[in-house]
Amino acid sequence: NYRLYRKQVPKTEEEEQLLIAQFDVHAVNISIFEDFVPIVMHNIPLDISDGEWERKLTKEGRYELNYIGQAENLSSQFADTYKEISRLIDFYRYTITHGKKNITKILVTGDHPYIDQIEKEMGERFEQKVMSIDPGKAAPNKGDFPPRTFNLALGLALKEV
C-alpha cells in the first residue's frame, strides 16, 4: 500500500510522518513511516469469528461480506482499534520523537467490507488528515480499474524486482 501511495502522492521536500492503517476482516496492520522510512509496525487482531460474516454473490459476480453478528460487537471492535491507533500515535510522538514530531497523515486502506465507514469514523476522530488511495490516479491507463479492495495487490505489483 505504501508503494501505491507513493505512486499517487510523489515525494516532496517537506517532512511527512505517515500512519497507514490496513483494515482486514481479522486484523488491522499499522505502519508508521517517517520521511519514507518505516519506523513502527503493529498488528491489532480483531476478535470477530468467521461465523459472524455472511458471504453473498453480487450481480457483478463478486463476493461481498456482510456482518451478521451483533452490531455492538463490531462497533466495540472498531472503537478499541481507534483507541489503539491513538496510543500508537502518542507513542510515536512522545516516546520515539520526544515530542518533536507528530503523525501528519493517516492513510486508511485494506479490504474490510466497511472500509468507507472506517475511513469516515477515523476522519471524525483524529486531528490528522485521513485519506485513502485512489488507484485510478496511479494508473497509466485511466480505463476501468478494480475496487480499492485490490490496493494491496496493486502495491505489490508496483514493487521493483
pLDDT per residue of the chain (161 residues) written in tens, 0 to 9: 555 555 555 555 456 799 999 999 999 999 998 877 889 999 999 999 999 999 999 888 888 899 999 999 999 999 999 999 999 999 999 999 999 999 999 999 888 999 999 999 999 999 999 988 765 555 556 555 555 555 555 454 555 54
pTM value is 0.78
Determine the Cα–Cα distance for residues 121 and 74; give it in Å rounded to an integer: 13
Q: Which three cell numbers stand for residue 127?
A: 486531528
Specify whether the CB–CB gap between 121 and 127 falls below 8 A. no
Determine the Cα–Cα distance for residues 155 and 5; give it in Å rounded to an integer: 8
Please report the DSSP string for 101-145 in residue order: ----EEEEEE--TTHHHHHHHHHHH-SSEEE---HHHH-SS-S--
